[in-house]
Chain A
Amino acid sequence: MSLRGFSRRRLLGAAGAGTALVGAGVAGGYLAGSSGAEDPAPGQATVPFRGVHQAGIVTPAQDRLHFVALDVTATGPILRPAVVALLKRWTTAAERMTAGAEAAPGGAVNRNPAAPPSDTGEALDLPAASLTLTFGIGGSLLDKLGLPRPAALAELPPFQRDQLDPALSGGDLCIQACADDPQVAVHAVRNLVRTGFGTTAVRWSQLGFGRTSSTSTVQQTHRNLFGFKDGTNNLKAEDKAALDEHVWVPASEGPPWMTGGTYLVARRIRMHVETWDRTSLTEQESLTGRTKGTGAPIGATEEFAPIDLTSPLIADDAHIRLASASSLGGVRILRRGYNFVDGSDGAGHLNAGLFFLAFMRDPQRQFVPMQSALARHDRMMEYIEHTGSAVFACPPGLADGAYWGQPLLEA
């Protein structure tokens, strides 16, 4: 087997060479990852597309992100059949691409030369790179389909200091593509967007690099663009009880098509890194509540030391105090955000920040109280502003033969 693992391009060689390749199979990243502290070689892994829950949520966070929110442009009597047809085609293409295959048979070079290629080609020769494609439904799509919104999918209330740009907010559908190679993530989104023309159009999209959260105990905590470890106390894939309590929607909560699913809150947070960088280390640590070097709570020495909220060393308005579960009645979320730099802002500064992605059972009971507290009291708000916002319902994982959104659309 080649060092690069599965490649999309059909390897040249004698017939039958493929047998060995197919039989060899690369273990799913999630399972492989939980067997030890060492990550598999970058790019080698594939993550199973189907399962009880969607991939890309508790999957150990990959290094790169391309997230896209789309609006459904089809209207009238064709709306529903067009959405169903698209979701079937998306599911087939997504399953192929997460396995490391081209978006459709024939692909970039091997079909009818008079026709445009069925795959755009920029991921030829690249392995699957742990690609996951996670699908979500916005409340606005349920409105268009005349279906009731789950209470958890209500619009978020305005928060203090929000500077939301409608062009970077909302959306009828979303696809989160995560991979260890940015080109693989972009390729997946581009091909799905292409498949959607006529039924959907891109509303906004966001590239991310440098995961800011670890979603598994085997991963180190990464740093955000303020230079701090971010998401130390995140929910982890290994803590099944906590995931059931805070992330997965139980059958008792309904609606039935969301049992085993979760809700995604996306917030584009612009970070004014230039002013932050002029702030003293003491002030930076005081605002955060953690030391910059190890990530330990101020007054402790270990990153994962419990936060002592009685400690006078942790300011009343420190970020970790306001965001801690014990300050919020036990509320926790699964964070899965990425850093971004979208070029520059035209005024001499980097257009940089954190693309906050978090999965939870009910945004109204989890994200809303958390963000209300942060927006009102967190001194870090002087250095950041929320410029985009969206909430999506991410249905449960797919059984064999099922397509994205099927329980909703065929209910």
Chain B
Amino acid sequence: MSARPALAALAATLAAVVVGGCTSTAAPETAPGQPGPIQVTASDTACGLSATSAPAGTLAFSIRNTGAKVTEFYVYGAGDRIIGEVENIGPGLTRPLTVEVPQGGTYTTACKPGMVGDGIRAPFTVTGNAAAAVEGDAALAAAVAGYQRYTTSQTEALVTKTGEFTEAVKRGDVPAAQALFPVSRTYWERIEPVAESFGDIDPRIDGREDDERDPGVEFTGYHRLEKDLWVTGLQPDSAAMADRLMADVRDLQSRVGTVQLTPLQLANGAKELLDEVATGKITGEEDRYSHTDLWDFRANVDGSQAAVSALRPVIDQRDPVLGQTLDQRFAALDALLENYRAGDGFKLYTELTPDDTRKMTEAVDAVGEPVSQVAGIIAA
């Protein structure tokens, strides 16, 4: 997981809310004590506003398209950042726009007849400062705390199960080790973006044979033992490799307790886990010797769901529709994966047909697109 700007800087920016459906012609509601909405008369050649300044807080506009072209209306902040917009206003239609502008300053309004170009722009002054919505901050802090409990519990299970796996390797019990391999990896795959935030641990625990390494750095970790167990047979140094894996996992555990995650990292982690599925698991690249990729697939999806669940109250606050879409798409992916259960685990990658992998790709694309929207909502 790459470093990201601190949440606070992003959270301080402005939230925009578009109210009303696409065919609404009703004027937007305004906050008590405020005058009615600012009337915007948008023709094909002009963009008239009934007021060009307003006190900070909730600004309501009512945009009437008097022209012949489909138009749009925008409110821009510094650097042309969009604060709020209404799309697709057909000729003769009136549409509302409500934007939260807690900070005073100079903004820009624009009508965009024909939907292209810079639009017909004019400055718009916001006076004073309003208290920004802060209730989100507590919800975000709760989300981070909840997710950190998840990573802690998963790491504990990872240490336990990796212990059983490495002991089996050291005993020379290949069948037991083979059975424990995908089980112990499950806990790793669920929290992999967190582990990846410690740059050096991930290559030691989960590096692949063909990864580029510094001179003198050995191929170690799960996949080295996977190759021993499935391809070459146990090697003289397999026991030593098992010990190294165990030490690296304990190292991870000691560091997970100290990591300070941001809500944005949670959101991006949820997306990255699905990217892992799309590029590593559906292709059968991850577990190329054991072909237990579907265990990892399931675990990545679990981890993504856990991060989204932690953020869910904030998502619901800011975009009521997205949460439902996420529920629906994750449920469809869960249902699809259930078809590939075999005993306590999953079918091997080598048993999948092209039709199976196509369905998996479709289901992961379906959930990946709304999950990718979460970060923007958290940072709005």
Contacts and interface: CB of A to CB of B under 8 A. Distances in A.
Please say whether chains A and B are actual partners in one complex.
Answer: yes
A22 B120 contact: yes
A79 to B, nearest CB: 12
28 contacts: A11-B118, A15-B118, A15-B123, A18-B121, A21-B118, A22-B113, A22-B116, A73-B366, A92-B87, A104-B87, A105-B74, A105-B87, A110-B80, A111-B82, A111-B376, A112-B81, A112-B376, A112-B380, A113-B379, A114-B375, A114-B376, A115-B372, A115-B375, A115-B376, A116-B373, A199-B366, A201-B361, A201-B362
A6 B366 CA distance: 33
Given A22-B117, A111-B81, A115-B377, 10 more contacts: A10-B117, A16-B120, A22-B114, A112-B81, A113-B379, A115-B375, A115-B376, A197-B366, A199-B366, A400-B70
A8 B376 CA distance: 22
Interface centre among A104, A112, A199, A401 (most CB of B within 10 A): A112
Interface stretch (A93-101, A177-185, A235-243): A93-101
Contact of A18 (B22, B118, B377, B380): B118
Nearest to B79: A110
Interface string A113-132: 11110000000000010000
A400 B91 contact: yes
Contacts of A21: 116-118
A95 B88 contact: yes
Contacts of B264: 114
A400 B85 CA distance: 20
Nearest to B93: A401
Interface centre among A8, A22, A104 (most CB of B within 10 A): A22
B369 A198 contact: yes
Interface range on chain A: under 10, 10 to 19, 20 to 34, or 35 or more? 35 or more
B116 A198 contact: no
A25 B380 CA distance: 35
B112 interface: yes
B72 interface: yes
A96 B4 CA distance: 32
B10 A114 contact: yes
A350 to B, nearest CB: 25
A282 B192 CA distance: 68
Interface string B52-68: 00000000000000000
Contacts of A400: 70, 90-91
Interface of B: 4, 10, 22-23, 44-45, 70, 72, 74, 80-82, 85, 87-88, 90-91, 93, 108, 110, 112-123, 264, 267, 325, 328-329, 358, 361-362, 365-370, 372-373, 375-380
A110 B376 CA distance: 13
B362 A73 contact: yes
A198 B120 contact: no
Contacts of B44: 22-23
Contacts of B91: 400
A197 B365 contact: yes
A113 B82 CA distance: 11
Contact of B119 (A18, A112, A114): A18
A293 to B, nearest CB: 43
A194 interface: yes
Contacts of A111: 81-82, 376
B109 to A, nearest CB: 10
A99 B264 CA distance: 35
A19 interface: yes
A95 to B, nearest CB: 7
A13 interface: yes
